[in-house]
């Protein structure tokens, strides 16, 4: 398993809220049950998994596109996106970013990342 980013919110997220927020034009599809499932993001004519639901929502991104999708998803849910080391991820002014203490790393413009698609990071 890769580096985990978790969608965190107080009060904790309920599965019904996840399914309600991802319906319609949000660009996400939830598959599975309240016990175990996954969230897929649409790209082109297909869907790609971006998060796992197991009583909590988390993902292990392998591309900027997946980080951007997780940040979008967290925003839809009124939640934060937090890494294993406590850093926060989000979208500010149309830019996907990571904030760790006083340091900010910008992944790039949200629309450009989403258009580029889920190309995986090179090792």
Cβ-proximal residues to 90 (8 Å cutoff; 6+ apart), any chain: 71, 74, 75, 80, 81, 96, 97, 99
| Residue 122 belongs to a domain | no
The pLDDT value recorded for residue 119 is 82
The pLDDT value recorded for residue 24 is 80
The pLDDT value recorded for residue 1 is 47
| Residue 55 belongs to a domain | yes
| Residue 34 belongs to a domain | yes
| Residue 91 belongs to a domain | yes
Rg of the chain over CA atoms, in angstroms?
A: 14
Q: How confident is the model at residue 50 (pLDDT cuts 50, 70, 90)?
A: very high
| Residue 13 belongs to a domain | yes
pLDDT tens digit sequence for 25-45: 889 999 999 999 999 999 888
| Residue 59 belongs to a domain | yes
The pLDDT value recorded for residue 122 is 63
| Residue 121 belongs to a domain | no
Q: How confident is the model at residue 16 (pLDDT cuts 50, 70, 90)?
A: very high
| Residue 35 belongs to a domain | yes
Question: What is the domain extent for residue 27?
Answer: 5-116
Question: Of 58, 98, 53, which Cα lies nearest the Cα of 74?
Answer: 58
pLDDT tens digit sequence for 71-121: 999 999 999 999 999 999 999 999 999 999 999 999 999 999 999 999 877
Q: How confident is the model at residue 123 (pLDDT cuts 50, 70, 90)?
A: low
**Gap between the Cα atoms of 75 and 69, Å rounded:** 10
Q: How many CA atoms lie within 13 A of 12 on its CB side?
A: 8
Overall domain count for the chain? 1
Cβ-proximal residues to 97 (8 Å cutoff; 6+ apart), any chain: 89, 90, 91, 104, 105, 106, 107
């Amino acid at each position: 398993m890769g580096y985990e980013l978790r969608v965190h919110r107080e009060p904790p997220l309920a599965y019904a809220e996840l399914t309600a927020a991802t319906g319609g034009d949000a660009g996400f599809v939830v598959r599975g049950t309240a016990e175990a499932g996954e969230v897929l993001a649409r790209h082109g004519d297909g869907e790609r998994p971006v998060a796992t639901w197991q009583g909590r929502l988390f993902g292990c991104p392998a591309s900027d596109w997946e980080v951007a999708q997780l940040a979008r998803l967290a925003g839809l849910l009124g939640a934060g996106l937090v890494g294993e080391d406590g850093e926060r991820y989000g979208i500010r002014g149309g830019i996907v970013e990571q904030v760790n203490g006083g340091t900010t790393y910008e992944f790039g413009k949200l629309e450009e990342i989403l258009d580029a698609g889920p190309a995986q990071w090179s090792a």
